[in-house]
Structure formats: structure tokens, C-alpha cells
Amino acid sequence: MSAKKEFQRLPKTIVPSNYNVTLTPNLQDFTFAGNETISIEVKESTPVVILNSADIEIQSVQFSGGGKELEAKVELDAEAETATFTFPEALPANSRGDLSLAFTGVISDNLRGFYRAKYVDESSGETKYSAVTMLCSTDARRAMPCWDEPACKASFDVTLIVPKDRVALSNMPVISESETKEGLLAVTFDRTPIMSTYLLAFIVGEYDYVEDRDSDGVLIRVYTPVGKPEQGQFALEVAKKTLPFYKEYFGIAYPLPKMDLIAIADFAAGAMENWGLVTYRETALLVDPKNSASSAKQRVALVVGHELAHQWFGNLVTMEWWTHLWLNEGFASFIEYLCVDFCFPEFDIWTQFVKQDLAEALELDALRNSHPIEVPVGHPAEVDEIFDAISYCKGASVIRMLHSWIGDEAFRKGLHQYLNKFAYKNAFTEDLWEALVESSGKPVGEVMSTWTSQMGYPVLQVDERKEGDKRVLTITQSKFCADGKPADGEFHWMVPIDIISSADPTKSIYSTVLKEKTTTVTLEGVKPSDWVKLNPGTVGVYRVRYTSEMLDSMIPSVKDLSLPARDRLGLQNDLFALARAGLCSTVDVLKVAEAYRSETDYTVWCDLTANLSAIAVVLQYTDCFDLFRAFKVNLFSDVGKRLGWEKLDNESPLDSMLRTLVLAQLGSSGHPETVSEATSRFDQHLAATKTLDADLRSAVYSVVMKRGDEPYFDKMTDLYRTSELSEEKVRILRVLGQTPNSEKLKSALQFSISEEVRSQDAVFCIAGATSSAQGRQLSWEFLQSNWTKLSSMYEGGFLLARLVKICTENFADRNKISEIKEFFEKNPAPAANRVIQQSCENIELNAALLERDGDAVKAYLSELTK
């Protein structure tokens, strides 16, 4: 077997400036024909042109320029994904010319490049297809030969030749339409700005749309499946507010004349920020006024905010290479919250950030198999491996900490300078730091490099000494490791720190940047009875370990809610992580959890639930799991009684989401009244006597499935088949595998890879099955026995890595580690290598927790039931 070639970026001897490309997709035989003329500049004399091409047959290549007409010999390298054109004589240096290519390709079904998306014509029942694109990260080369690297920017003139009854879309507005001699329609689009190849998009299919203009006159359209234009209205309203918000925030107008947002039936990612034509999964864009939950609306708002932020940060200014991917994604993941907070203050979205982004980042980044935010990337195939919670969530969290430290005014000023300086160009991470140093006067690069160049984050050990109205704190930093053991190697961070006290928990009384391993801080005017707390608002990307006395002093403020919600959330999140690491007792953390019985905040409950669920995963392998379920019923009972089942007039969306969460927890813990009421409401829903409120459906469906009654599995699959809303289908897929009936559980797993389930959605069904110990084992067996099909279905992309993760990470038996490693040694999955290591590490952590605290937890739970 020949050794794999070392990856090399494309030579810089030839630079493209414009692509004039015409594509003719055939949706009967799923092929396309293409012609393109690439305007190039020859930097150095060479007879050889190398560019990217994959899964494309090139029929001819000619060069014209400088009075010469030359025909090239074509050589393809499938492994390197390149095409080499060799001309009979050298192209002269410092000259310009055109490369003219004719080529053909396949409209694949693997959700990448130029691919097909399947849908059903609801009027005729006929199965049809759209031709759509997903060219990020490195799949523009599957649509046309090109310089498929982010730094190789050029403009694009696109023409699509399509059937007259199809919608044709690309990044820019249509400038002409003409009929071809074959009776097709040639649709030509205006020239794009200079941009990277991965941002190009073209779509051919059947769609309806809603449209409006924002306050600056930009035409916005949301394209939906035929017959469902009303489902695009919410996203349209979000986009109308979002574009002007970003214009104001960045101080730069949106540079294109139109913004299209389109729902794609088959789509691997959540969305893709193609300039002027953003593509989405249906569940990330469409909102059914009658059948969408509050959580679905919130998700649409966040995803729209994220993708439109990229129109500036990523599209206007683009990373030089994939090493700087985190800056694209981390920044957009931060700024989307600023946008949604502006558009929908009722979502209290920054509290949700702490749960959805910061907490997820801290959990993953505590593993020894994590990675730094900024990872050197060689071959673009490595990019999929870093589309993870570190690039997105930790990246966003570090930027949020930076924003808090330098202040909003300096942050905005620096962004404006950066975007202006590098508009239509490429940039490095350091370029942004330089702009923010200039705007803030603070050592941004020096501080931030400690967060981006090394993996992990610190835990701050805090000790206090009371001296009258003075409080002396000793703060010591060390790397936090999920197993509680010392780090391998030396780690040191420059940590922005704020401190609050119980006198006014909303106001910082002290700010500093911790530069040393240990520092001593003296706080003036703190009464002996006051508590003090680090990291107000849970903005810092670190954990805090207090003495028992300091922690105990804060508990009354948790109970009476005088400690702000983000601080209540961060306090328990740190404690659960410390317990998992063996740095405090799981029993002590469960006692602290009881202080949250009177909690009213949705996001605090959401995070507490996630942390309790992590303990539940381990206790499923013990004989005290039922005792733990009783503990949860007791914990959730008061908030369950307060919220009830019925939505109140003018109720906040957060209370609606909290009701769903609480009822699901009570029902899954076997609370008889909740199980009975959920079953009754489900039966009425099926009988069409009383429609279930959309916010209640995920909870009710889950509770009913966990009963294990065989007829309900069949009723749920029938409901899936009759639903036309993707959101509802996904809601059902998530619960199908939650049945305790082993035969039906196996049926659910098989159903996930049937023709009835889109490949992008199979992961939801399998993930639902892993919620029980039995389902986890069956899912792992299912993954192994269907590996060939699943690995082919996802072709080594991030969906495969996600699938591997959910099927392997939650066991608590060390024997599973060797079993998992052995399987993947025989069945390599390069894109999942890191998650396989992380799963094995998580299994070790679960086993250690069980050994260390299992007996004590059982004794504590048993005592509660006496």
C-alpha cells in the first residue's frame, strides 16, 4: 500500500480573478454539464496549472491570452483532489489570460458539493428532486474545477440552464433570462463581489417565497417548500431586523443588493452562510404558526442571526486558511446572541448562552483529548474534525469574555477597523487582535493567545480571610482536568476576573487580570456577613472552587433568588464538574441541587437538568436508579405544580419552555399524575378531539414512549408518516427509541436508516435510543452491524463523528473502552478519531465516578426515602 502523499496547498504561480461558469443540471439522470472561463493572472512563467477538482470529468481545457491559443493535457489526482493542466509551452509571467473548460459531473446524494435533495409534491404525491449546493468547506471542487482555498478569492458570473418551471437561484440577483434552443431557460446572475469559492451557491427547484425590504431597502426573500410560504414569515421578520442591526453594529452596510434565505429538504449542517443565498435545514428556518414550539422559534432566530453575521465576518473578511476557522464560527456564535437579544429581549438569551455555549465548551475542553481553539490544519479533510464545540462554543465564550473585558465601545470600534481594513480580503486571528489593541489600549493579543493557543482552561481555587470590613482572597489558577488529576505539562492563562458581593450582586466591586499562578486580593468595605463571588454573570471561561464555608454562605441567595440567574447557573455547573472530577462529593452536590427547588428561571433549570442527567447515565448501571428518579420527582414537583399544564395568557416563551422541560422530567421519572395526564392528552391529540399545544408535544411524546406500551410505538410512527412539518418529524424521531420495549427499540433503530427518514435526521432517532442503558447497548450494536451503510451514508463527515459520539460516550464499564478501540482499529473513521478518544475518556470518567461515589449516593438517596 503506497504511503499517503503529504498535503500541499496550491501553487501561487497562477491566480484566478473571475469565474464565468454555466451549469446545466439534469434532474432525471442526476448529472450536470458545465462550461467555465476562468480569468487568470500568471505570476510566474509555467507550463503547468494546478487547481482543485473532485468527482468531475474534464473534457477540454484551453488557454487564450497574449495572442496564444493553447490546449492542455489533463491529469486528475483523486487523492489530492486536484487537476493538473500541462500546456505545450509555458504561460508567460506577468500576463493575463483565460482558461476555458468543459466538464461534467454527478448530482450526488451525499449532501455535499452539487447534490440532490428529495421532496414529495404534496398535490400529486410524486417524489421530486432539487439540485442544491453545500460547498463548505472544500466541496466547490465537486461543482466545478477551481482554486478551492479560502485565500483564492475571485468574482463569479453564474448562468444556470434549467427547466422553465423551476426556480433558479444564486448569490446575486438575476440580470437576464433567455430561452435555449432545447426549450430550457438560461438564467444569468449579476457578478458577485470578490469572494472565496466555498461561499458560492446555486439552487434549482420548486419553491414558494415571502419577501420584504429592510429599512435600508435590501430585498429579503425566504424560500419555502411549495404551499408553505407562511412558514417563512418568522425568519423574514428576523432577517429584516438583523441586517440593519449588523449594519449599525459593524458600521458597514450589507454589501449585496439582496438576501435570500432558503429551506433545503436534505441538508447536513444547520445552515450555510453563502453570500446572499443562505441555505438552511428546514428546522432551522421554517416556523409553522400553529405547530412550532417556542424553542423552535428561538432556534430559528439564533441560526438566522448566526448566518447573517457571517455576511460580514467570514464573507466580507475571510480567514486566510482553515487554521483560523474558529474566528469565523466562534465570532458568529457570539454575535448571534447580541442580535437575538436586540430582536427578542424576552428570550433572555445571554443566560441561555451560558448553558448552550459556555457550559458545553467547558465540558468538552476539560477532557485530555480536547484541542486548542486554534488548530493547525493541513489537509482540508482535517477541517471536519474541528467543526466542534471548541471552535464554536469555546470560541464564542472566549470572545464574550473579551467583549466584557474591553467593553462594547472598544469592541465595536475595533471590529469596524478590522472589517474595513480587510474587506474583500483574507485575515489571520492576529489581525483582529491588533485592531482591538488599537481600539481598547489593552494587551488583547497577549491575553487572548493564552486562550486560543493552548487547550483547556483554569479552575480558580479561592480561599478567604475576614479582617473586619476587609476580605482577603487568595486566588490560585491551575488547569482543570475532567478526571481531577494534575495536567500533563505546564499551563498558564491570563484571566480577566471580576468579583461581586451580596451587598449588590449586580455590580462588580473589583476587577483585575490574573497573570500569575497565585495572587492575593484585598476587598474593602465587605461586611463579615457578606459573601463574595468570582465571575459575575458567568462570563469568564473558567471554573471556581470555593471553600465549603464560602459556598455555604451563598446557598441562601440561591434559595431566595437574590443571586442573579447566570450566577446561580454557573455555581451549580461548576459544582457538578468538580464532583465528576472527584474534587468534591457527588452527595454534597445533590444536596446543593435541593437548594434550587424554588428556582424560576428556565435556563437554570435546563442546565441543572442536564447535569442531573449526566449522573442518571451512571446510575442507570446501579440498583439505585429508581431512588434517583424519586429524588428528581421531589426536586421538580414544586415548579411542576406552579406551571401546571395550561399555557397562561401572555405567558413568556421561557415559561412555556420550562413547562415542557419540567413535565418531561417528571414523566420520565415515573410521576404517576404526569404520566396519566400525558397519556390522556396524547390520546385526545390522536383522536383530533383536542390538539396538543406545540410546546407540550416533545414532553408528552417522550413520556408516552417511555411507558413502553406497544400500540404507542405504532401510533407514533403513524404520526410521523402523516406529518408534513420537519420540526414535528424530528420531534417524533427523538422519542421513538426511548421505548423500554427491546423489540420496538430495535425497530426504531432500523427505522432510522429506512427510506422514510432523511439521512440528516437518522442521528436524532439513534440519539434518542441511547437515553437508556438498554438502548445504549443496542445502539452500539446497531452502529457496528450497520457500519458499512452508515459510513457510506455520511462519507466521513461531521455527521458520522456525531453518530459515533452518541453511540459510544455514555457507557460506565471500562471493558467498553477496549471494545470501542478494537472496532475502530478494524473500521477506521478518520473524521471521528478525536471523538472516539473523547468517548473512551468519558467512559473512564463514568466508571471512576461510580466506583468513588456510587455507594455514598445510594446511601443518601435511600435515606431520603425513609
- H helix or E strand, kind and range, residue 805: helix 798-808
The contacts found for 526-529 with CB under 8 angstroms, 24 or more apart, are: 526/469, 526/470, 526/471, 526/501, 527/469, 527/503, 528/466, 528/468, 528/469
DSSP string, 393-405: IIHHHHHHHHHHH
Query: 212-223 as b/e, with b when 16 or more CB fall inside 10 Å?
Result: eebeeebebbbb
The CA–CA distances, whole Å, from 214 to 118, 173, 219, 231, 594 equal: 32, 16, 7, 19, 48
Query: Whose CA is closest to 21, among 186, 158, 170, 178?
Result: 158
- Exactly one of 307, 360, 363, 374 is catalytic; name it: 307
Query: 423-435 as b/e, with b when 16 or more CB fall inside 10 Å?
Result: eeebbbbebbbbb
Q: Beta-carbon neighbour count of residue 159 at 10 Å?
A: 21
Report the alpha-carbon distance of residue 545 to residue 292 in Å, rounded.
41
The CA–CA distances, whole Å, from 384 to 159, 196, 327, 329, 762 equal: 30, 18, 15, 13, 19
Cell numbers placing 321: 486558511
Report the alpha-carbon distance of residue 733 to residue 797 in Å, rounded.
21
Q: Which residues on adjacent β-strands are paired with residue 56? A: 105
Report the alpha-carbon distance of residue 560 to residue 548 in Å, rounded.
20
DSSP string, 341-353: HHH-GGG-HHHHH
Report the alpha-carbon distance of residue 695 to residue 294 in Å, rounded.
6
The one-letter code for the residue type at 50 is I
Residue 736 near residue 746, CB atoms below 8 Å:
no
Query: Whose CA is closest to 307, among 136, 131, 452, 192?
Result: 136
- Contact partners, residue 124, CB within 8 Å, separation at least 6: none
Residue 156 near residue 195, CB atoms below 8 Å:
yes
Q: How far is CA 237 from the centre of its chain?
A: 23
Report the alpha-carbon distance of residue 309 to residue 305 in Å, rounded.
6
Residue 729 near residue 723, CB atoms below 8 Å:
yes
Is 79 buried (19+), middle (13-18) or exposed (0-12) by CB count in 10 A?
A: exposed
Query: Whose CA is closest to 153, among 379, 317, 306?
Result: 317
State the DSSP code for 151: T
- H helix or E strand, kind and range, residue 702: helix 694-707
φ and ψ at residue 281, rounded to 5 degrees? -60, 150
Report the alpha-carbon distance of residue 726 to residue 296 in Å, rounded.
11
The owner of cell 449588590 is 504
Report the alpha-carbon distance of residue 442 to residue 440 in Å, rounded.
5
- SS3 of residue 260 by DSSP: strand
The reply to whether 307 belongs to the active site is yes
Report the alpha-carbon distance of residue 397 to residue 331 in Å, rounded.
9
Report the alpha-carbon distance of residue 707 to residue 677 in Å, rounded.
13
Q: How many residues does the chain have?
A: 866
Cell numbers placing 36: 467555465
Report the alpha-carbon distance of residue 208 to residue 121 in Å, rounded.
13
Cell numbers placing 413: 470600534
- SS3 of residue 29 by DSSP: coil
Catalytic residue positions? 307
